[in-house]
Each structure stands twice: as structure tokens, then as C-alpha cells.
């Protein structure tokens, strides 16, 4: 991770196809394309790769989450349960639709704690959205059981975990709708882009329409198309889709390489008895894009990160004071800082975050370090990195 580390002839070939015919938009201009439809081809290959009936490309992972929530019927006043450890896009998408993000604790999976979710469900809950941060997943079976018993939707944000699996199913395909991101730092990248996957025919139709201004895409004359529903412009371009197409075809190789490097480092860190590795739910397999582990306490984790910096170990993250990924520093959310007026019921809900404590999440995030696994490392470099990490951690224990 990320896929841009290994850009090569296959990506250039797909991009040149688009540049040669000059059609950068994914819709229309049929006669000028010389048979090149990169977005359509990528959607088909996503369906085949992840064994789902439908895939819809969009302009970003944030757009994917926004579309997924919209087609699931999430809107004004509804509540969506999501974890305290995620990317800001998760709550941005909820707020965009006029819904309320309900943050709940994580557990040692670094994702949603099923019991915390259970306690947070109300009559307003419309969806549960686990976020598969740093390449691994929540207890999806437990979350699905809650969804089934309360008649709510399970929407998987698999933007950081493409290619991982749970009980034999690809992440993103286990719930009602799954979301991927293809931004510049993801396992496979299109520069910018995202996708939703689903087995629900109705959701697929709505996603196709909602992501393109409500166009029904019936017939071959775009100007004559009708608009069954309101929509927005979340379209991906053919250039981005072209890069994503080449990268998807390399996904298995990328994950195999990540697993190799991940395993080398993890085996080395096992020599330190104070380290506890992130829990992967039974039946789950990560996509190996990050190696996440826990140190004994917050102070030790802080010291380890300083030591990593001192000895030149980059790409490791301690999210406790991170501005993008953990609830403690989301002041703009807690203060409802918006360029446009926010509905009173949403402001009231967000105000509760100013004083709400997430002690269980603090316990896990405060002790956690997540280290990026790069594709471009050689085996020798990976082993050298592992040895330096072991030495650095031992020096602060």
C-alpha cells in the first residue's frame, strides 16, 4: 500500500487509450470512443472480482459513502452509528444528508464494538456503518444480527480494506452496501475515485441515477434522458477509471506482497512479550495494508513513536492525537463549524460530543500503533525495518 508505488506499463496503456480518443467523460460520445469504456469495464471487473451483482463507480470514497447512505434511505433526522476511529469523511457523508452521526466505542479490533452499538440503537437508527480501518474488520456477523433484529441497514466502509475477507466473503460484500476508495494512498488507486458494491438490484439502479444528477441512463441520447430522482454529480472520469482498471487487475499481487512484508515484521515483533496485536474477528483475513499492535499504555506508545522518528522509521501512526481519524481532535464536528446553517436537531446532537467520554476507545487508540506496509520494500529492507522497530520498542519499555 499504496498502489502508486508500483505504477507501470499497464496503467500507462489504459490511460493512453483514453487520451488517444480524447473522451474523458464516462457517459456519451459513443461514436468517438473507439470502443473504450474504462468506467464500464472497471465496474464489470469489480463485480467479477468481489463476486457481487452490481458495482457503481463514483468520484471518491467520500462520494461512495454518501451515495450508499442515500440509496439506503438515510436522510433528515435519521441516525447512523459509526465508530470513534474512522476518517472524517464518514461523518461528513452522514451530515450531508441531514442525518445524525452517532459515534460509539471501538474494541480491540479497532472497529465497532458490537455491545456499544447495541446500546446506541434507537428508534431513529437507520444504518450501522462499520469502518474497516487499517485493513481489518469488525465483528460483522454480530453487527448483521443487530441489523436484522432492528430492521436497519448494514453499510460497510471498506475504503481502507479492499481485498480483505470475512467468512469467505470480500469486505464490502457482506452488508447491504459496501464502499471502496481509490484515492492516491489506497491499496489500489485511481488518483481519485471510489465505488459502491451491492447485490440489491434497486440500490444499484438508484446509485447509477443518484451519482449522475438523477439521469435514468435510458437510451443513447443523454439530452433526452429523464430524471426519476434528484441527484448529484459524483461521476468518475474515464482517466481515473483507466488507472483504477489497471490497478484492480494487480490487486491479488499487491495483497500477496503486502502479506509477505506484514508477516516479516509481525514475526519480528512477536519477540516482544509486551506487544499485543490487533484482534481480527474469527473468519476474517486482513488485506495486510497495515500492521496494528498495542503497547502497554499511552505513555509507552508516545515514547515508541518518538523513538521511531529518531531512528528514521516512517509510516507508523499513533492516532490518539490525530486530527483526521479520531474523535478527540474533531473540534470542527463538536462545535458544528459549518459554512452553512445546520439544522437545530443536528447541532443539539453534536453538542453532546463536547462532554461525552469514550474511555474504551481511548484505552485502545492510546496504546495502538498502526504501521503502513509498503509494496516497494525489498525483502532485505523489510527485515531491516523490522529489526529497527524491535530495537526501538525495546528501548522504551
What CATH number is associated with residue 373?
3.90.1150.10
Q: What is the pLDDT, as a whole number, of residue 381? A: 98
Choosing from 195, 226, 250, the residue where a domain stops is 250
Residues in the chain: 397
In this structure, are strands 276-277 and 290-294 parallel, antiparallel, or unpaired?
antiparallel
Q: Are residues 141 and 158 in the same domain?
A: yes
* Count of the separate structural domains present in the chain: 2
Residues 83, 62: contact at Cβ < 8 Å?
no
Same domain, 105 and 153: yes
325 and 230 in a common domain? no
- For residue 1, pLDDT over 90 is answered with no
Q: Is the pLDDT of residue 220 over 90?
A: no
Do residues 212 and 314 share a domain? no
pLDDT tens track for 194-212: 999 999 999 999 999 999 9
Tell whether pTM > 0.85.
yes
Percent of the chain with pLDDT over 70: 100
Domain boundary among 250, 279, 314: 250
CA dihedral 332, 333, 339, 343 (to 10 degrees): -150
Q: Domain boundary residue among 190, 224, 250?
A: 250
Q: Which tens digits make up the pLDDT trace of 321-372?
A: 999 999 999 999 999 999 999 999 999 999 999 999 999 999 999 999 999 9
Nearby residues of 241 by Cβ (< 8 Å), 6 or more positions away: 26, 38, 39, 41, 42, 57, 190, 193
* E strand segments, 40-124: 54-58, 79-83, 100-104
Reduce the DSSP state of residue 16 to 3 states and report it. Answer: helix
Q: Which domain holds residue 15?
A: 3-250
Amino acid at each position: 500500500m499504496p498502489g502508486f508505488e508500483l505504477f507501470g506499463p499497464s496503467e500507462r496503456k489504459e490511460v493512453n487509450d483514453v487520451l488517444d480518443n480524447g473522451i474523458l467523460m464516462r457517459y456519451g460520445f459513443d461514436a468517438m470512443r473507439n470502443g473504450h469504456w474504462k468506467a464500464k469495464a472497471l465496474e464489470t471487473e469489480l463485480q467479477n472480482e468481489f463476486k457481487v451483482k452490481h458495482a457503481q463507480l463514483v468520484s471518491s470514497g467520500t462520494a461512495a459513502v454518501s451515495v450508499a447512505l442515500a440509496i439506503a434511505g438515510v436522510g433528515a433526522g435519521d441516525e447512523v452509528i459509526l465508530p470513534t476511529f474512522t476518517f472524517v469523511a464518514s461523518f461528513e457523508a452522514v451530515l450531508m444528508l441531514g442525518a445524525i452521526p452517532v459515534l460509539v466505542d471501538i474494541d480491540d479490533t479497532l472497529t465497532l464494538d458490537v455491545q456499544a452499538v447495541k446500546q446506541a440503537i434507537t428508534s431513529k437508527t437507520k444504518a450501522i456503518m462499520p469502518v474497516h480501518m487499517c485493513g481489518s474488520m469488525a465483528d460483522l456477523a454480530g453487527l448483521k444480527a443487530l441489523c436484522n433484529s432492528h430492521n436497519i441497514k448494514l453499510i460497510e466502509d471498506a475504503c481502507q480494506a479492499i481485498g480483505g475477507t470475512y467468512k469467505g466473503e470480500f469486505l464490502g460484500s457482506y452488508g447491504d452496501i459496501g464502499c471502496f476508495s481509490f484515492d492516491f494512498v489506497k491499496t489500489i488507486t485511481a488518483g481519485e475515485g471510489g465505488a459502491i458494491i451491492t447485490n440489491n438490484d434497486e440500490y444499484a439502479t438508484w446509485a447509477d441515477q443518484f451519482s449522475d444528477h438523477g439521469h435514468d441512463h435510458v437510451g443513447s441520447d443523454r439530452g433526452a434522458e429523464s430524471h426519476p430522482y434528484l441527484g448529484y454529480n459524483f461521476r468518475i472520469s474515464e482517466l481515473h477509471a483507466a488507472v483504477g482498471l489497471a490497478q484492480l487487475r494487480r490487486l491479488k499481487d499487491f495483497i500477496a506482497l503486502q502479506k509477505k512484508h506484514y508477516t516479516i515484521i509481525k514475526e519480528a515483533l512477536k519477540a516482544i512479550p509486551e506487544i499485543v496485536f490487533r484482534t481480527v474477528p474469527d473468519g476474517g483475513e486482513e488485506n495486510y495494508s497495515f500492521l496494528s499492535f498495542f503497547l502497554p499504555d499511552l505513555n509507552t506508545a508516545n515514547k515508541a513513536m518518538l523513538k521511531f522518528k529518531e531512528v528514521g522509521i516512517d509510516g507508523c501512526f499513533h492516532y490518539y492525537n490525530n486530527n483526521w481519524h479520531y474523535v478527540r481532535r474533531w473540534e470542527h464536528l463538536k462545535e458544528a463549524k459549518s459554512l452553512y446553517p445546520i439544522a437545530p436537531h443536528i447541532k443539539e446532537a453534536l453538542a453532546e460530543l463536547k462532554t461525552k467520554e469514550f474511555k474504551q476507545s481511548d484505552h485502545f487508540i492510546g496504546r495502538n500503533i498502526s504501521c503502513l506496509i509498503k509494496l516497494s520494500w525489498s525483502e532485505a529492507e523489510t527485515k531491516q525495518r523490522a529489526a529497527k522497530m524491535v530495537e526501538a520498542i525495546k528501548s522504551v519499555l
